[in-house]
């Protein structure tokens, strides 16, 4: 028996000692390596196929929304982008409290359809970025859950995804900032500075789209501090923090320099993005109406039924129990974004889109820690509610934007090619549907209420040589807490009421008669 067993270890040792190119002749080692190779090949092919599936499903759903009427922000930002090259306001012809990169994106997009396709591309990048971050931090299974959650949230109608906004566009920067930060700190290498610096650049990109989206920067800094708590990784953490800050500062400086070259100075941007927001917050607080409370209720209900509340709770519990730096950094981002949405005071549902990158990443990191039965039930409920929301929105499309499109279409049919219009107060989607510019620089109600509450500037425009041909009284010229006295005098002197379209009073310059079209159907 001993003499028969002796050569077998020797043979096995010689087989293991052979170069990999000759390992196929050894039954034991070669067979094991072949099985591992097949498993590796299956692993490499399955995750991309899964990502393609969830991204494809999200794309199909989003294409169903492509024909919905333009939203106020979509239309307004496109108009601001188109007018950046001329005029004396913050962005040429118009003023808006948003950073320059967003306006540049709008200028390049040009149309609502193109903008929505770009928003869809940003959502795809968000899914892939979140999946990459989860894969680096938690492996393939985490990547699957994170990508599925990001795709599901990215297709949910109740987050306002039919319309492209700053939160959606910035989401791609945030998600890939997460991925690069995780790469730099979870898998440190000689390129830690490169990954971290790139994360800083993407963090700046998000801020240059909307000034309150600091998610990427917060995640990078918090993750580096948590990793640096371990003395062995302190030098890596310091390198990452320095690189993130440098990348962020350089990108912000480049954005400000580019805007300044087009006539939008850093001082003007500071007034719009910081000073104005403080003043506007006070205006919102003092003039809050029943509509504000209703929007808050809708925001909270949407947060709960969409699954974001469940994710927040599970993330909080697991972040407190586990010493996982990536999960804890993700939890901090969720807290910061939630506080930002609540403190803003406006409570629009699309603000919840900003929670998608961090919440989806949290799903990937937490899913493996939740009991399988609980996980399955929770996922099924969220998917069912989202699917119900999808079916309802397709069968009964929301009426939001229909009246604006009808009024704008009527103006286009009744007006001349070079006519201009002013809408009181806000509703730039009326101007977009009418294909008309506005000589008044404020296209939203909040700047009017904050910067022109007595309507002195509007009245001057309405009485001046460049006064608009049309004036649309959308919600009552005495609404929103403004003082309409000066405007009423100008309207009585220069304009006359000519139509009522969808309950909105239309005024026409007395000196420029126009043939009036027949109004279309309203909501």
d(CA 280, CA 444): 12
8 A C-beta contact, residue 425 and residue 71: no
Helix (H, G, I), strand (E, B) or coil at 497: strand
Rounded (10°) CA dihedral 271, 277, 281, 287? 70
Q: What local confidence, expressed as pLDDT, does residue 44 receive?
A: 56
Using alpha carbons, list the distances in angstroms from residue 104 to 91, 99, 340: 10, 9, 25
Whole-number pLDDT of residue 395: 83
Q: Which two tokens stand for residue 90?
A: 């913050």
Q: Is 499 helix (H, G, I), strand (E, B) or coil?
A: strand
- In 306-401, which ranges are continuous DSSP H helix? 308-321, 325-343, 356-366, 372-395
> Which pLDDT does position 90 carry in this prediction?
96
Measured from the Cβ of residue 207, the count of other Cβ atoms closer than 10 Å reads 24
Q: Provide the token pair at 468.
A: 């608009």
CA 350 to chain centre: 8
User: Residue 50's closest CA among 129, 148, 132?
Assistant: 148
Separation between Cα atoms, residue 374 and residue 220, nearest integer Å:
31
β-pairing, 495-501 vs 470-473, is unpaired
What secondary structure does DSSP assign to 395-455, as a single string?
HS---TTHHHHHHHHHHHHHS-TT-BEEEET--HHHHHHHT-B-SSSB-SHHHHHHH-TT-
The model's pTM is: 0.88
Structure tokens at 262: 């087009």
393 to each of 64, 249, 516, how far by Cα in Å?
A: 10, 42, 34
For residues 79 and 431, the answer to whether their CB atoms sit within 8 Å is: yes
Measure the CA angle with vertex 71, ends 101 and 128; round to 5°: 55
Instruction: Collect all residues with Cβ–Cβ distance below 8 Å to 113 and sequence separation of at least 6.
Output: 66
Phi, psi of 149, rounded to the nearest 5 degrees:
-65, -45
Strand, helix or coil for residue 94: strand
- Closest listed residue to residue 71, CA positions, set 298, 295, 399: 399
Here the tokens at position 138 are: 């938690």
Secondary structure, 3-state, 208-230: HHCCCCCHHHHHHHHHHHHHHCC
- Determine the Cα–Cα distance for residues 258 and 25; give it in Å rounded to an integer: 64
Q: φ, ψ for residue 361 (rounded to 5)?
A: -60, -40
Q: Directed axis angle between helix 166-186 and helix 325-343, to 10°?
A: 160
Q: Which residue has the tokens 């910081």?
A: 274
Give CA–CA dist 311/365, Å, rounded: 11
Instruction: Report the C-alpha gap between 122 and 282 in whole angstroms.
Output: 33
In whole angstroms, give the CA distance from residue 114 to residue 366.
36
| pLDDT score of 106 | 97
- Cα–Cα–Cα angle for 74, 339, 303, nearest 5°? 65
State residue 368's pLDDT score: 87
pLDDT recorded at residue 45: 55
Q: What is the pLDDT of residue 418?
A: 94
Q: State the residue for tokens 């599936």.
A: 53
Task: Report pLDDT for 226.
Answer: 96
The residue ranges of the chain whose pLDDT is under 70 are 1-45, 288
SS3 132: helix
Report residue 5 as tokens.
Answer: 């067993």
Cβ 400 vs Cβ 374: under 8 Å: no
pLDDT tens for residues 286-333?
A: 876 777 788 889 999 999 999 999 999 999 999 999 889 999 999 999
Find the helix or strand (DSSP H, E) in which 470 lies. Answer: strand 470-473
């Amino acid at each position: 028996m001993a003499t028969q067993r002796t050569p077998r270890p020797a043979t096995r040792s010689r087989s293991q000692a052979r170069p990999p190119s000759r390992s196929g002749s050894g039954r034991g080692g070669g067979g094991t390596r072949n099985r591992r190779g097949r498993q590796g090949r299956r692993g490499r092919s399955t995750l991309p196929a899964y990502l393609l599936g969830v991204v494809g499903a999200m794309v199909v759903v989003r294409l169903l929304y492509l024909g919905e009427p333009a939203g106020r922000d979509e239309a307004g930002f496109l108009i601001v982008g188109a007018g950046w090259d001329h005029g004396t306001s913050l962005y040429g012809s118009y003023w808006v409290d948003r950073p320059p990169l967003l306006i540049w994106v709008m200028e390049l997009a040009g149309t609502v359809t193109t903008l929505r396709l770009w928003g869809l591309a940003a959502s795809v990048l968000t899914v892939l970025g979140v999946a990459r971050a989860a894969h680096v931090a938690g492996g393939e299974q985490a990547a699957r859950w994170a990508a599925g959650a990001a795709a599901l949230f990215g297709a949910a109608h109740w987050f306002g995804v039919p319309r492209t906004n700053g939160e959606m566009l910035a989401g791609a920067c945030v998600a890939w900032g997460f991925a690069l930060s995780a790469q730099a700190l979870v898998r440190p290498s000689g390129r830690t500075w490169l990954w971290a610096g790139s994360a800083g650049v993407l963090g700046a990109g998000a801020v240059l789209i909307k000034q309150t989206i600091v998610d990427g920067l917060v995640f990078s800094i918090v993750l580096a501090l948590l990793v640096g708590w371990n003395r062995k990784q302190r030098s890596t953490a310091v390198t990452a923090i320095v690189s993130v800050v440098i990348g962020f500062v350089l990108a912000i400086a480049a954005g400000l320099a580019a805007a300044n070259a087009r006539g939008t100075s850093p001082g003007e941007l500071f007034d719009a993005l910081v000073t104005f927001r403080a003043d506007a917050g006070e205006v919102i607080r003092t003039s809050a109406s029943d509509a504000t409370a209703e929007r808050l209720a809708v925001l909270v209900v949407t947060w709960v039924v969409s699954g974001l509340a469940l994710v927040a709770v599970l993330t909080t519990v697991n972040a407190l129990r586990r010493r996982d730096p990536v999960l804890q950094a993700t939890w901090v981002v969720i807290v910061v974004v939630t506080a930002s949405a609540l403190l803003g005071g406006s409570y629009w549902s699309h603000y919840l889109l900003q929670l998608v990158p961090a919440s989806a990443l949290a799903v990937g990191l937490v899913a493996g820690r939740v009991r399988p039965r609980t996980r399955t039930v929770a996922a099924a409920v969220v998917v069912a509610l989202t699917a119900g929301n999808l079916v309802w929105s397709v069968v009964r499309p929301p009426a939001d934007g229909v009246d604006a499109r009808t009024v704008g279409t009527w103006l286009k049919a009744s007006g001349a090619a070079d006519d201009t219009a002013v809408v009181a107060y806000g509703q730039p989607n009326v101007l977009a549907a009418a294909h008309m510019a506005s000589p008044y620089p404020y296209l939203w109600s909040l700047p009017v209420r904050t910067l022109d509450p007595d309507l002195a500037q509007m009245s001057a425009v309405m009485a001046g040589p460049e006064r608009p041909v049309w004036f649309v009284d959308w919600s009552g010229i005495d609404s929103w807490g403004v003082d309409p006295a000066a405007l009423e005098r100008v309207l009585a002197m220069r304009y006359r009421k000519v139509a009522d379209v969808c309950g909105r009073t239309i005024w026409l310059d007395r000196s420029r008669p126009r043939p009036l079209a027949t109004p279309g159907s309203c909501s």
